[in-house]
Amino acid sequence: MYIADKKRYDTMVYNRCGKSGLKLPVVSLGLWHNFGDTSIYENMKQMCFTSFDNGITHFDLANNYGPAYGSAERNFGKLFREELHPYRDEMLISTKAGFDMWEGPYGNWGSRKYLIASLDQSLKRLGLDYVDIFYHHRMDPETPLEETMGALDSIVRSGKALYVGLSNYDGPTLKKATEILTDLKCPFVINQNRYSIFDRTIENNGLKDTAYELGKGIIAFSPLAQGLLTKRYLNGIPADSRIATDGRFLNETALTSEKLSQIQALNEIAMERGQTLAEMALSWILKDDKVTSVLIGASKPEQILDNIKIIGHTDFSDEELKKIDDIVNS
């Protein structure tokens, strides 16, 4: 049976999630990749152990993470049952629903029918009575926002989630959703959105500033732009890279000659800072107090240890920030 490191809280930093009482580690572990049935279970265990031993208390899932759909939740549930269950009250476990999960009209988007049924399925796969955070995974252009937010409120009142979050929302919709959830007195505390040096969408659509003004936290996913902001592609496309072997979320068209030049220029700034490119990219996400935590993905424990080196090194000078912006906008 796994026994957690007694020094696990010595170095991790925990940020308050907006104006709520909830704190998240500045680095959280996302189970989007490498926790499905095509991955090695022993490696999953070691990644979770390494994370928790170093103060990463937050494990982020979704109903359709895999492959196959549901397998990441099922594998994490097995790991929780066999090894991690003594530490349940020290852990934040989150999941989501909003993308396609099962066939038919009730397995997608944001209806009350889908969200409540999906969470019931997730809890069975995870072997939990409740999750700490339950997210609506994306905006639904057809379902009334009042219905979706009402379903989230019902889920909290049922005891199946402690807090709720929104993922992939924009600023104006976030503001409307917050008004509804505030009226319902529902503990909505966090937004999960894609954010990286290369992807500034939450700055451009108003989500980042709106969340801060409303007192809501932000957790950023894909902070390394699916690997572009690492040393992997400094000299082109390696044969064993995600671009070469997968192509679902990142393909060869993403690595233009202009993008490669940007990556190389950003790497020079990182070296001047005494960081790897990946470390700088993660640090950049946390450069101000508007982002609560950054979600990392990993394929091996060593990557997790590399990523937490950013703790205490997230400050940037105005000159560094300007150089980064100039490179991205060139």
For residue 163, being part of any structural domain is answered with yes
Low-confidence ranges of the chain (pLDDT < 50): 244
8 A C-beta contact, residue 294 and residue 28: yes
Cβ(296)–Cβ(28) under 8 Å?
A: yes
The DSSP code for 219 is E
Nearest to 155 by CA among 133, 174, 183: 133
Structural domain includes residue 233: no
- Number of domains making up the chain: 1
- Count the Cβ atoms, other than its own, within 10 Å of residue 314: 19
**Residue 186, burial from CB neighbour count under 10 angstroms (0-12, 13-18, 19+):** buried
Residue 237 belongs to a domain: no
CATH number of the domain within which 211 lies: 3.20.20.100
Which phi and psi angles does 248 have, rounded to 5°?
Answer: -70, -45
Residue 51 lies in a domain: yes
Q: Is residue 109 part of a domain?
A: yes
Within a domain: 47: yes
pLDDT of residue 247: 55
Is the separation of the CB atoms in 186 and 164 below 8 Å? yes
In a domain, 53, yes or no: yes
The crossing angle, in degrees rounded to 10, of helices 171-183 and 145-157 is 50
CA distance 295 to 302: 16
Distance CA 316, CA 324 (A): 10
Contact 98, 166 (CB under 8 A): no
Helix axes 71-79, 112-126, angle to 10 degrees: 40
* Residue 271 resides in a domain: no
149, 180 Cβ separation under 8 angstroms: yes
From the number of C-beta atoms within 10 Å of its C-beta (0-12, 13-18, 19+), residue 154 rates as middle
What is the Cα–Cα distance from 29 to 300, expressed in whole angstroms?
Answer: 12
What's the confidence (pLDDT) of residue 164?
99
Residue 281 has what pLDDT? 98
- Residue 233: predicted pLDDT: 87
Structural domain range at position 56:
14-228+285-315
Q: For residue 114, give the nearest of 147, 159, 72 by alpha carbon.
A: 147
Phi, psi values for residue 18, rounded to 5°: 60, -135
CA distance 25 to 181: 25
The 8-class DSSP code of residue 298 comes to -
At 330 the pLDDT is 84
